[in-house]
Structure 1
């Protein structure tokens, strides 16, 4: 036994000293499973993080398995069957020489690499079981009691390191959500439009939650809900406008202002939208303040993605409450500003009516009197023209007064405004607003379906910009005055940045053009 253990001692000491150097939790967990696999001489290793409430594996860190093999295995083990489930239900050390003859090893996925010998121990943080460490296929034969003892030492040290890393990660995570909520509040109170405000909430929440998409849904007139703003790592074009039909089971909770937590959007019967197959774990959080339901914030992760933890759910729920309050305050501020505009318009209208119109009318009467007194008729033509001009001016001023007294109509959804909305949406991720320049009468010259094609090209270019690093400048140029090679009038979109990508040098330019 001493001869077997002696060669492992230096490796064990080095491993114990190395665990806990890095406070980043994922890095620490990967180091633990890599080190345990090496020290025990195993071919494969895994560290499964266990959700104490659901008794399921929420994250799996592996060693000795390629990305292709991970893809073949598929979804994370649920923990209901097999050796994984055995250790979750009964967190005690487990040593098996031949898993093929052990009935507890049932339920191994088809894509899992072949294994025979198995060794597993729980990892405890204080008195709580954090997860389990699994090793299989020792290279020099079956696992021994010495291997089990070494693995228990590593698991004990790992528990201490994980506890420290979790505290550090929790503090950083809370700080990020607090900063994100503050950034959203600041952005919303700077006078953004309603659409831009919702996009800001969706974008910031997606980044903070490490989600595949962030969407905001609002109630519809028929009792359903519609996605009105979406931020996604992919093109969000097919997400916006998606509706949840009235009567859907999930609507009862959403319209009642209750949060909904979903394990797998693709298979949950409550989810009925056509985009659900793309997503896995999801949170749907009410945006409500003072009893007023503004909408719902949904944060789905990709299919087979990491489930949300209890802490993440709590932080996201708090963020949604803060964002809802900011939306209400922003709306109230917008109403106050609009009221101030109305009051100013009313004052201008009164001034025009009381002063300008009266003076113009008095001048017109004076000229009319002069014309009548001129018996020779020398000034008749000149005075008639002056009277006509004054009468025309009075009519125009009255028309202006009437227009000022009317409430402003809704701003049309022009191409110019939609381009500005798309560029504003990425400003949260970039940390600055891209510069936008228009050439020509864009709204009048560019018609359907070219405008939609331009917006699709713009979204794709901005998504690519987000993937590059060291970006400090993004320029968007829409030119509706160009002439295409075949002589027809066209429109051109150019998106330039000074960032770096994996396959590009410094600076990237994306160009798109089409007949308008």
Structure 2
């Protein structure tokens, strides 16, 4: 048989062609790489084979696919080499084919772990994707003698074709990942525009980004009045609940970069001197991406991985940065939509309040005056029970007018997200009164208001507060109103209770006192 009909140590040329076709038949990258190293070892008669993926930024191996090693042998070896030293490191630093008859005699050979099987003959070639070195193929312990020049030529052909197959697989994988990130950004936008609250919107962004980036946590930070940043939303299912509220102090190098609109990429959060928070020790590689729209920074999206996890690649960083840009725009749009909806509600409530005041209250008041006049005439004429009945009717109408005015007062308050604490709800009522009165009432709390007031008592207290504020608004020359909520009082019957006192300086007014047992 002619020399050009055979390759390597006698393998027929069709075997090489079959191997090349087999390598190029996969689109999933990890499957392609494992198939490549298995094929290379089989084709050259090598006992062991390895394919190391090189990180060009860090100059080391990030993944190592092996052939010929049993599970027990891999366990004895322990941690696989990172390619910084030894012959593997030499091939990374100088990516040219290398053939050695005795690996142990080469001065560059070092760092072989104790459990590593003995290896002497060695053959290594780089795998290039276009002009970039993607990784290296390593073969050792050829059966029947050292590796030959024919083996080297065979492996170079296989590596060349593998570069094309890997390029295709990388493009396919990148396209799939890009599709997932785009779908994630679209899902976030849809969720934010359905009317979620601000807190839920930020949590949605953090949760979706965490899943897409395969991160241990997804957190959103927002600027603080002091010039720092605080974590306001987090998605970290395997982490304690102390992430939210963590702050980055003003002047931090990371903060300076973020406030300038630049992303921050960190190799190891636990050891990077730029990281100063107490939660940094739990995490390793991390991305911190500014959320900005129209040149304004509205927050930061941080995606830390666990310690020892794979670092983020250039593709990861690019896709996450694009997601952050779209999420920031969605947050701004959702906030604008929420503001428009609140404005529409406020305008509608204001219209209802005007209608109640102009139509209902005026008619009720006119009816009350008519009844009062009738009562006086009837009292002079008859002097019987008619006077008492008319008096009760007038009182009922007056109470109805008070209730309607209280409802008008409540409608005139600006709509906002309802506070969850009693203190917050009281302050919301007084803030709304300030918009109507022209000044803000003073408020004082005495005792653990939020701890001791139940929902039922709190609801009655707020109703009494609204009525007292509405009454103060009706009086002339009101320039100050004070509100005191005291939960340390003892009622006349000896039970602990709550007392609400509302005092104003208007004409004909006096303190309004409301009490209830706790």
Partner of 1:205: 209
Partner of 2:391: 384
Change (3 A) 1:444 1:365: closer
| RMSD of aligned alpha carbons | 3.0
Aligned 8 A contact 1:99 1:115 in 2: no
Partner of 2:405: 398
| 2:292 is the counterpart of 1:285 | no
| 2:120 is the counterpart of 1:113 | no
Which of 300, 303, 327 is the matching residue for 1:299? 303
In 2: Cα distance, 1:163 partner to 1:256 partner: 36
| 2:321 is the counterpart of 1:317 | yes
1:134 partner SS: strand
In 1: Cα distance, 2:290 partner to 2:297 partner: 7
- Map residues 17-36 of structure 1 onto 2, 5 A cutoff: 17-36=21-40
Change (3 A) 1:296 1:403: same
Higher relative contact order (CA 8 A, sep 6+): 1
In 1: Cα distance, 2:348 partner to 2:139 partner: 75
Partner of 2:127: 123
2:51 partner SS: strand
In 2: Cα distance, 1:379 partner to 1:8 partner: 123
Partner of 2:513: none
2:244 partner SS: coil
In 2: Cα distance, 1:222 partner to 1:299 partner: 24
1:315 positional shift: 2.0
Which of 261, 275, 278 is the matching residue for 1:274? 278
The worse-fitting range, judged by mean Cα deviation, of 25-34 and 140-149 is 140-149
Can you list the C-alpha shifts for 1:153-191, whole angstroms capped at 9, x where unaligned? 321221121122122223323333222222222221121
The worse-fitting range, judged by mean Cα deviation, of 366-375 and 301-310 is 301-310
In 2: Cα distance, 1:200 partner to 1:245 partner: 26
Partner of 2:256: 252
Task: List alignment gaps of at least 5 residues for structure 2.
Answer: 422-453, 457-518
1:45 partner SS: strand
1:362 positional shift: 1.1
1:309 positional shift: 2.3
In 2: Cα distance, 1:27 partner to 1:233 partner: 31
In 2: Cα distance, 1:52 partner to 1:72 partner: 25
Aligned 8 A contact 2:270 2:280 in 1: yes
Change (3 A) 1:352 1:29: same
Partner of 2:159: 155
Aligned 8 A contact 1:5 1:146 in 2: yes
2:284 partner SS: strand
2:108 partner SS: helix
Partner of 1:331: 335
Change (3 A) 1:69 1:284: farther
1:233 positional shift: 5.5
Change (3 A) 1:243 1:38: farther
**Between Structure 1 and Structure 2, how many residues are aligned?**
415
The worse-fitting range, judged by mean Cα deviation, of 65-74 and 251-260 is 65-74
Aligned 8 A contact 2:8 2:44 in 1: no
| 2:190 is the counterpart of 1:183 | no
Partner of 1:360: 364
In 1: Cα distance, 2:342 partner to 2:49 partner: 63
In 2: Cα distance, 1:65 partner to 1:239 partner: 43
1:338 positional shift: 1.0
TM-score normalized with structure 2 length: 0.72
1:368 positional shift: 1.1
In 1: Cα distance, 2:7 partner to 2:208 partner: 57
Change (3 A) 1:73 1:288: farther
Task: List alignment gaps of at least 5 residues for structure 1.
Answer: 415-442, 446-516
1:339 positional shift: 1.1
